[in-house]
Amino acid sequence: MPACCENHSSRKARSNVNTPTSTLPDSIRTDRLLLRRWRDEDLVPFAEMNSDPEVMTYMTALLDRRDSDALAARIREQFEQRHFGLWAVEIPEVASFIGYVGLSVPRFTAAFTPCVEVGWRLARAHWGRGYATEAARASLTFGFEQVGLEEIVSFTVPANVRSIAVMERLGMRHDPADDFDHPSLPAGHPLRRHVLYRLTCTSRS
């Protein structure tokens, strides 16, 4: 039995959305990346990334500096509250901040919530190099083996083929019956329809 599934019932896993069950490390290392806690000096490159129209193509709006800083503050707060979150990502000795990858709890209500989502947002200069997949895989391992989650999801709009490709490389599975209309967006909005991908502790390779 995978370590993440030992002594964790589905009810226990769902309760982990609200209750910290792990000790939060300062960072996670992968072959090429460092996933770490956020620093104040990350705020400027984060704001630049959030104002890039190509990075934000599938978001509802660009973020100005105030809104970008507020998002970073919420991300940092989640680490304290839940003992997991969206890690700041750097390439040691190459780039001190390239975006975020990690786990979060969606703030909206849908048929599959409460849940934990794996997500990513990287600066455009660092696309196409496998960084999102590498960091997301490490985040999934942390979520299953350290946090004790039974399932982690990811979702995006159908047109976001780059992110969907990452989900599929991670071994996440899509059932069209799970697709949903984002409840925060009005009927007819071009970004309302979303595809949902899932990965369970027992199904991951």
Residue 200 to residue 196: CA distance in whole angstroms? 13
Residue corresponding to tokens 């984002």: 182
- Give the sign of the dihedral formed by CA 156, CA 161, CA 162, CA 165: positive
33 has a pLDDT exceeding 50: yes
> What residues form DSSP beta bridges with 193?
181
Structural domains in the chain, CATH included, are 3-200 (3.40.630.30)
Q: Distances in Å between the alpha carbon of 184 and those of 60, 76, 108, 145, 192? A: 10, 23, 7, 32, 8
Number of Cβ atoms within 10 Å of the Cβ of 141: 14
Q: Which two tokens stand for residue 110?
A: 């849908």
How do beta strands 86-91 and 34-36 pair? antiparallel
Over residues 124-141, the pLDDT tens digits come to 999 999 999 999 999 999
pLDDT grade, residue 161 (50/70/90)?
Answer: very high
| DSSP assigned state of 77 | H
Residue 78 to residue 104: CA distance in whole angstroms? 8
Helical segments of 109-160, H only = 131-142
Q: What is the pLDDT of residue 66?
A: 98
Q: What is the pLDDT of residue 23?
A: 73
